[in-house]
Structure 1
Amino acid sequence: MSDFEYPSDLINLETTAWQEIQAGRLTIATADAVQSAITTFATEAGLDRYTVEMGLKKMVRHTAQAA
């Protein structure tokens, strides 16, 4: 997956976004909240935002498929 730990609030936001995507009802507010949280986390951790986003999506979507 990734070499770093995601905060639970970021995982929860991405999980909500993924559920909304699957239901065909992703809102701009949810998408914006996820992107803002990813950017903040990446900046504070000194990580590449795109790497953070891709790792987070993999983690959330892989876990959702396994459930």
Structure 2
Amino acid sequence: MSDIDFPDDLVQLERSAWEAAQRGELTAVQAGEVQAAITAFAEASGLDRYTVEMALKRLVRHPEPGA
């Protein structure tokens, strides 16, 4: 689904935030941590932060069947 090879810790961070949001428990601190991690990964990878964020959200929120 994504051509970006996300590290497991970034995927888990986004997954935890998404699950917290689903329960209505996402905090500003948790959301900020996710954004900081996305920004750091994008900068280190030489990718656009918005592209990274959208691909990560798609990966977490709409996983491929059997993934």
User: If the length of structure 1 is used for normalisation, what is the TM-score?
Assistant: 0.90
Match of 1:61 in 2: 61
Equivalent runs, 1:5-20 vs 2, <5 Å: 5-20=5-20
Match of 2:41 in 1: 41
Q: What is the aligned length? A: 65
2:4, 2:57 → 1: CA distance?
Answer: 14
Give the aligned CA root-mean-square deviation in angstroms: 1.5
1:16, 1:55 → 2: CA distance?
Answer: 16
What's the % identity of the aligned pairs? 57
User: If the length of structure 2 is used for normalisation, what is the TM-score?
Assistant: 0.90
Quote the offset at 1:21 in angstroms.
0.7
1:28, 1:54 → 2: CA distance?
Answer: 19
2:30, 2:61 → 1: CA distance?
Answer: 16
Instruction: Please tell me whether residue 25 in structure 1 is matched to residue 25 in structure 2.
Output: yes
1:2, 1:48 → 2: CA distance?
Answer: 14
1:61, 1:27 → 2: CA distance?
Answer: 18
2:31, 2:15 → 1: CA distance?
Answer: 11
